[in-house]
Chain A
Amino acid sequence: NAGVTQTPKFRVLKTGQSMTLLCAQDMNHEYMYWYRQDPGMGLRLIHYSVGEGTTAKGEVPDGYNVSRLKKQNFLLGLESAAPSQTSVYFCASRKGGLNTEAFFGQGTRLTVV
Chain B
Amino acid sequence: AQSVTQLDSHVSVSEGTPVLLRCNYSSSYSPSLFWYVQHPNKGLQLLLKYTSAATLVKGINGFEAEFKKSETSFHLTKPSAHMSDAAEYFCVVSDLNTNAGKSTFGDGTTLTVKP
Residues of chain A touching chain B, judged by Cβ–Cβ distance below 8 Å, are 4, 31, 33, 35, 40-45, 48, 50, 56, 58, 90, 92, 94, 97-107
Interchain CB contact (< 8 A) of A42 among B32, B49, B101, B105: B105
Band of interface residues on B = 20 to 34
Selected A-B contacts with CB under 8 Å, 17 pairs = A4-B43, A40-B107, A43-B90, A45-B102, A48-B102, A50-B100, A58-B102, A90-B44, A92-B44, A99-B49, A100-B96, A101-B34, A101-B49, A102-B46, A106-B42, A106-B43, A107-B43
Complex CA–CA separation, A41 to B106 (angstroms): 8
Q: Which residues of A contact B77 (CB under 8 A)?
A: none
Q: Tell me whether B102 and A99 are in contact (CB under 8 A).
A: no
Residue pairs across A and B with CB atoms within 8 Å: the count is 58
By beta carbon, the residue of chain B nearest A45 is: B102
Q: Tell me whether B106 and A102 are in contact (CB under 8 A).
A: no
Q: Which residues of B contact A42 (CB under 8 A)?
A: 90, 105-108
Q: Which of B5-49 contact A (CB under 8 A)?
A: 9, 32, 34, 36, 41-46, 49
